[in-house]
Amino acid sequence: MRHAIAGTADRALESSALVEGIWRLADPKITLASVASMVLGIGAAAHDGALAWGWLALTVAGVFGVEVGKNASGELVDFDSGTDLAVAERDRTPFSGGKRVLVDRLLTRAQTKAVAAAGYTVSVAAGLAIAVYREPRVLWLGLVGVACAFFYHAPPLKLSYRGLGELAVALCYGPLIVSGTYLVQRGSVSGEVIWLSVPLGALIAAFLWINEFPDYDADRGAGKRTLVVRLGRGAASRVFAIIVALAYVGMAALALTSLPSTILLGLAGVPFALAAAVRLAQDPQATPRIIPAQAWTLLSFLLMAAGSALGLLLAG
């Protein structure tokens, strides 16, 4: 009887760990970057016509599949490189430090690989369905997106280890997802939509940028040469302010194009971005002080996406 009870308890613990591990890999906080990009693409598409909700649901499934696959495959690479293991407890934050499903023994390597495979499979299946039955050109955008997601961590490219991860994030969470979402709905993409996506991509890249500060020591020790590691925290904190400023200047400049002036509702995030830049510049080495700035940067890009999308809907 005791053995049966112990076995039942062990299985319950294993099941609980599995659920928590998958939840961490899904990581709703980081997935908000994809949500913001899709919201902007949806807003632009709705401004120009009625939405096809079924195809939108398939688009969302494809993008989220890539997110989960990227997080899981990246977890394996970062664990093997020693990056995740090297993050000190004092530098742990809700937004950085990896998902730690292997470090905390929530998932085995085999389970993590299975989650990665499942995520990428869902993404590829959704992309192929859209390409075959709705819009063939989505296939190329999907291939670029999956490649950037996988090789963000994985060899031989290892984009995040070579100081190219920030650029990949700006491109994927800006033009790629916004244009892809719009393309599925409207069947074409205008220059205005692409330009509309650029400030958001830059601001989401700024979110990645600030998340690299708490991981600085671990990344440097493991040979992960992010741009923050390459520049050093002092210079990188100043570059963060420049990225944020350029993102919002670019947002404001869009009002000079043929886009409706109501997109300037996307400037609602300026106070939070400014507060994040000031906080980071004051002490770029103290992780506890950086955590609020991480949250403010997240809120800033969400407000940019939501405000711009709302502005487009109001103008429609």
| Residue 1 scores a pLDDT above 70 | no
Query: Could you tell me which residues come within 8 angstroms of residue 53 by beta carbon, excluding any fewer than 6 positions away?
Result: none
Residue 14: CA count within 13 A, CB half-sphere: 8
Averaged confidence pLDDT in the chain: 93
Per-residue pLDDT band at 17 (split at 50, 70, 90): confident
The whole-number pLDDT of residue 27 equals 78
- What tens digit of pLDDT does each residue of 196-237 get? 999 999 999 999 999 999 999 999 999 999 999 999 999 999
Closest C-alpha among 200, 248, 177, 185 to residue 47: 185
| Domain region containing 103 | 2-315
Q: Look at the chain and report how many structural domains it folds into.
A: 1
- pLDDT tens digits along 79-115: 999 998 899 888 999 899 888 999 999 999 999 999 9
pTM to 2 decimals?
Answer: 0.94
pLDDT at 178 over 50: yes
pLDDT recorded at residue 202:
98
* Mean pLDDT to the nearest integer, 236-250: 98
Nearest to 308 by CA among 157, 164, 203, 153: 203
Angle at alpha carbon of residue 29, lines to 124 and 229, rounded to 5°: 90
Q: Is the pLDDT of residue 13 over 80?
A: no
Q: Work out the pLDDT band at 11, boundaries 50, 70, 90.
A: low
CATH number at residue 50: 1.10.600
